[in-house]
Amino acid sequence: MARRIGVFVCHCGINIAGTVDVERVARELEKQPGVVFATTYQYMCSDPGQNLIKQKIEEENLDAVVVAACSPAMHEETFRGVCREYFNEYRCEMANIREQCSWVHDGEEATEKAIKIVKATVEKLRDNEDLMPILVPVEKKCLIIGGGIAGIQAALDIADAGYKVILVEKEPSIGGRMAQLSETFPTLDCSQCILTPKMVAVARHPNIKLLTYSEVLEISGFVGNFHVKILKKPRYVDEDACTVCGDCEEVCPVIVANEFEMERKPRKAIYIPFPQAVPSTYTLDREACLGLAPLTCSQCKEVCEANAIDYDMQPKIIEEDVGAIIVATGYDLYDKNKLVEYGYGEDDDIITSLEFERMLSASGPTGGKIIKPSTGKEPKKVVFIQCAGSRDKQHMPYCSSICCMYTAKHALLYKHHVPDGEAYIFYIDIRATGKGYEEFIERVMEEERINYIRGKVAKIYRDGDKIVVCGVDTLTGRKVEVQADLVVLAMAIVGKEEAVKIAKKLKVAVDDGNFFKESHPKLKPVEALTRGIYFAGCAQAPKDIPSAVAQASAAASKVLSIFSKDKLEKDPLIAVVDEEHCSACGICVSVCPYGAMMKMENGKARCIEALCEGCGTCAAACPSSNIEMRNYKDEQIVKMVEVVI
């Protein structure tokens, strides 16, 4: 039976109607066979807009609807919901005449193109089948990648709600960057003091399985039903048996740089990255150890009274089924050696902000004393340089968001440590948008008498004992030259290098800064484009601690909403084999990335519904055209092609 199609063209205020002649689109579409009604409206997604569709479905006896408006990524759900009250939701399609037409074109041609897009959508809709979602069970367990503050917060939220969490951390301890910080702005709370209770809570939570020194190897599946393989690297120390007495560390003859201390402090080959590490255990760094196979030293094992050291520990592959994944892989600092044009490079007295954090920390390399690394003396003049690599088209074009604040904190703490010292801050703008941030900046500027110089640094070079920092104060137009003892660079924040690998495993996108791409920059800031995957913390963009914590809780609430159901709806847009005409060549079986095409006893293929993801590779490969994609059938696409040309 021929469909009675209604076409609803949205003005989207002037977003569409400002460019596209929406009335003409409606009039042209009315001429299409099967289209019995077409109209336009100011905002189709508004309540009156939705009511208009309902009213016309009833009045005009419509049994299918095309909404010509924004991208289906925005409102397909909205309009399918409207239609669901009357007929199968797959009788509703959206024609994207905003993102891919009115916003990118002008004038007459925009209207022409809009007409083509809507016509093509009508053609597709004509042959859409009524479909019901496929119901799949949900594995109510969440994988969280990264054990910094964001991963920790999300893990605790989900575990407290009664669901199992697998928290995977690459390093020997959870805690992430926050564990490295001294004090936090603007309250000057001790970072570790507020973090460690949460770390301990993670370790003790019965619903959290903590896998430190571990990496995610493989991820497959889909929302509700992901399968992950995790590599647990051997730490050669039994986590449960180790009493952290430190005897092993004492006798270990190998000294290397401690990564946790930004390599400003040594550690042994057998080490605990910092005293409050969770899990509280030593780790033997295989790379640094004198040799395990054959065993060369073995002094640590000899002194270990708890008998916790096991040189034969093997890497373990752990497999888990999870229903949702939160990515909280955090950030790195941009490589300061890349800022060659300023002459930053390698110089002991030019350090990064994180190195300065460790210097300020009582447990850090200097025991909380601020020193000039090359001489060990107290620096009397310190220059802080903001936007080192940020807001710079040669490097990272974006604002790293937290540097203005922590630099103010650094300068303040410096003045408290060295009251007779001078601190200079080179800045482009001061961005202090958080709660209490502006007040903090004001306090630093006025009470602490820090010299804020508005301008970028032009050059840095060593002159004997000093480092000369040259720049222009753009407020006075004068050249500035500071003979500094110590220079601290507020380096740009970039996503982890490993994020790129993890993104590939998850089949999600990262941007140029290695930050994960969210589904919508405003309305879906924690969701990946792929359902069931969420982001938290600096993995998604540079942010401060409260924002990371808030985003982690947001991601956790998204996961909990998935876990609140026993079954999830899966898109029924899958492949169907015409088994009668299938020539049993087996090509579809070999091209399917999901193993969803099964060869039956008679050699013919059959699609396993639960496994099919609907990519359509099999349909394109089938030499006898006997595989159809539901609602993306060959003849639907061919008809669309015909209309758009």
Partner 1 sequence: MSFEPKIVAFLCNWCAYAGADLAGTSRLQYPANIVPIRVMCSGRVDPEFILEAFRKGADGVFIGGCHPGDCHYVSGNYKARKRVEMMKKLLKEMGINPRRLRLEWVSATEGQKFADVVSQFVEEIKELGPSPWREKK
List residues binding partner 1 (CB under 8 A). 71-73, 96, 98-101, 103-106, 109-110, 112-113, 116-117, 120, 503-504, 507, 509-512, 517, 521, 529-530, 573, 591, 593-594, 613-617, 619-621, 625, 629, 632, 634, 637-638, 640-642, 644-645
Which residue's CB is nearer to partner 1, number 395 or number 456?
Answer: 395
**Maximum distance among all Cα pairs of the chain, rounded to whole angstroms:** 90
Which residue's CB is nearer to partner 1, number 52 or number 503?
Answer: 503
Quote the tokens at residue 513: 């800064």
Which residue's CB is nearer to partner 1, number 529 or number 598?
Answer: 529
The amino acid that residue 501 corresponds to is: K
Please state the closest distance from residue 80 (CB atom) to partner 1, in A: 16
Q: How many CA atoms lie within 13 A of 348 on its CB side?
A: 13
Q: Strand 381-388 and strand 493-495: pairing?
A: unpaired
CA end-to-end distance (rounded Å), the chain: 27
Which residue's CB is nearer to partner 1, number 43 or number 594?
Answer: 594
Please state the closest distance from residue 212 (CB atom) to partner 1, in A: 28
Q: Strand 134-137 and strand 567-570: pairing?
A: antiparallel
Which residue's CB is nearer to partner 1, number 320 or number 518?
Answer: 518
Is there a cis peptide before residue 186, judged by omega within 30 degrees of 0?
A: yes
Helix (H) or strand (E) holding 634: helix 634-644
Which residue's CB is nearer to partner 1, number 241 or number 620?
Answer: 620
> What does the alpha-carbon distance between residue 388 and residue 2 come to, in Å, rounded to a whole number?
64
Please report where in the chains the tokens 């900046």 appear, as a residue.
441
Please state the closest distance from residue 573 (CB atom) to partner 1, in A: 7
Please state the closest distance from residue 631 (CB atom) to partner 1, in A: 10
Please answer whether residues 113 and 621 qualify as being in contact, where contact means their C-beta atoms are separated by less than 8 angstroms.
no
Query: Cα-flanking dihedrals φ and ψ of residue 120, to 5°?
Result: -60, -40
**Distance (Å) of CA 488 to CA 30, 265, 422, 456:** 67, 18, 13, 14
Which residue's CB is nearer to partner 1, number 2 or number 645?
Answer: 645
Region of 432 on the Ramachandran plot (φ > 0 left; ψ -120 to 50 alpha; else beta): beta
Please state the closest distance from residue 395 (CB atom) to partner 1, in A: 18
> What does the alpha-carbon distance between residue 175 and residue 276 come to, in Å, rounded to a whole number?
9
Please state the closest distance from residue 373 (CB atom) to partner 1, in A: 39
Please state the closest distance from residue 511 (CB atom) to partner 1, in A: 4
Q: Strand 183-184 and strand 189-190: pairing?
A: antiparallel
Please answer whether residues 68 and 8 qualify as being in contact, where contact means their C-beta atoms are separated by less than 8 angstroms.
yes
Which residue's CB is nearer to partner 1, number 295 or number 620?
Answer: 620
> Could you tell me which of 157, 149, 147 has the C-alpha nearest to residue 555?
157
Is there a cis peptide before residue 273, judged by omega within 30 degrees of 0?
A: no
Please state the closest distance from residue 37 (CB atom) to partner 1, in A: 24
Q: Taking the alpha carbons of 236, 238, 241, 245 in that order, is the dihedral positive or negative?
A: positive
Burial of 542 (0-12, 13-18, 19+ CB in 10 A): buried
DSSP 3-state of 25: helix
Please state the closest distance from residue 473 (CB atom) to partner 1, in A: 35
Which residue's CB is nearer to partner 1, number 252 or number 528?
Answer: 528
Please state the closest distance from residue 587 (CB atom) to partner 1, in A: 11
Please state the closest distance from residue 499 (CB atom) to partner 1, in A: 13
The amino acid that residue 273 corresponds to is: P
Quote the tokens at residue 577: 């084999």
Which residue's CB is nearer to partner 1, number 311 or number 632?
Answer: 632
> Could you tell me which of 210, 208, 214, 228 has the C-alpha nearest to residue 171?
214
Please state the closest distance from residue 564 (CB atom) to partner 1, in A: 26
How many other C-beta atoms can be found within 10 angstroms of the C-beta atom of residue 423?
A: 26
Q: What stretches of 99-159 adopt beta strand conformation (E)?
A: 134-137, 141-145
Which residue's CB is nearer to partner 1, number 234 or number 525?
Answer: 525
Which residue's CB is nearer to partner 1, number 559 or number 618?
Answer: 618
